[in-house]
Structure 1
Amino acid sequence: MAAPLSPEAAFASAPSDRLRDAVLLEARSWLGTPYRHQASCKGAGCDCLGLLRGIWRALYGTEPEPVPTYQPDWTASGAESLAEAGRRWLVERPLGTETTGDVVLFRWRDDVPARHVGILSAPGQLIHAYERVGVVESPLVPAWRRRMSHIFSFPEQAPWQP
């Protein structure tokens, strides 16, 4: 597991404006995609992780690892699977340093693992796939802000590329 970045290192590792623009352009192209558990197909269906996977594919061409089957209540195991995967493939940043284009993880309660993911699209805005709604851009209201547990940025290039 990677050590958390210092605030100085987090700002130094922040992605370029070009990458952030590419993330936002791709995320917005998914708006209106219906919600489908475990899916990741723009326009046809996705869940919150599927949205993130689709953005990754658009940026880097292929997904870094297979996604295991998961149930809607997949956090019952207590493992921080989503955060651990983020640490493997994204650049972790301290809470409070988030900006547009960043990946945000949310936990519903303090005692459960993070299980929802979205993309910060503008100050106070979030793009995410919401059950029974689909992919939407919505306000990052205080109730959502309180649930933020992890912040990640996309890497400048896929981790396996030289």
Structure 2
Amino acid sequence: MTTREAVVDEAMTWLRTPYHHMARVKGGGADCATLLLEVYHAVGLLPKIDVGYYPQDWHFHRDDERYLGWVKQYARRTDNPRPGDIALFKFGRCVSHGAIVTGWPNLIHSYFRLGCVLGSADDGELQGRLDSHWTLFED
């Protein structure tokens, strides 16, 4: 199994985990940021990262690219999203939602109304909000 496949497989084990701001417990709760952190940590691509406290609605009141800043520390931008990569979306004034690509435009993400689900960047509230794609992989 490739590391990309391992990322998607690990993300799949988080499906049906309820949305819970700042939680990091598979089956118990996760938000879109903590889901990514836990999945990439589980497959060995990231160390355990503490991002500190962040209010749930921080992105509606700031132009600060906090979420994008976290991603930029560990990933690089890509124009060719592949399984295991990250898709970032804008809600409010800045990038504020992330998802794991399973096969573009399909993805796994934790969304406040749905919890951790399979979805598509072309449907629902994600449609038209794509900002960029990022990868932690060298290939």
Which 10-residue stretch deviates more, 116-125 or 137-146? 137-146
Structure 1 stretches lacking a partner, 5+ long: 1-16, 157-162
Distance (whole Å) between structure 2 residues aligned to residue 107 and residue 123 of structure 1? 18
Out of 77, 80, 91, the residue aligned to residue 92 of structure 1 is 77
| Equivalence for 2:131 | 149
Which 10-residue stretch deviates more, 134-143 or 97-106? 134-143
The one-letter code matched in structure 2 to 1:130 is Y
Q: 1:86 to 1:107 in 2, by over 3 A?
A: same
Distance (whole Å) between structure 1 residues aligned to residue 120 and residue 102 of structure 2? 10
| Equivalence for 2:87 | 104
Which 10-residue stretch deviates more, 29-38 or 75-84? 75-84
Q: Compute the TM-score of the two structures, normalised by the length of structure 2.
A: 0.86
1:52 equivalenced with 2:36 (yes/no): yes
Distance (whole Å) between structure 1 residues aligned to residue 53 and residue 130 of structure 2? 24
| Equivalence for 1:127 | 108
The one-letter code matched in structure 2 to 1:81 is R
| Equivalence for 2:47 | 62
Using the aligned pairs only, state the percent identity: 30
Name the one with the larger strand percent.
Answer: 2
Tell me how far 1:145 sits from its aligned partner: 4.7
- Does the residue aligned with 1:115 lie in a helix, a strand or coil? strand
CA contact 1:105–1:117 (8 Å) conserved in 2: yes
Q: 1:77 to 1:124 in 2, by over 3 A?
A: closer
| Equivalence for 1:118 | 99
Which 10-residue stretch deviates more, 143-152 or 68-77? 143-152
Name the one with the larger helix percent.
Answer: 1
Decide which structure has the larger Cα Rg and report it: 1
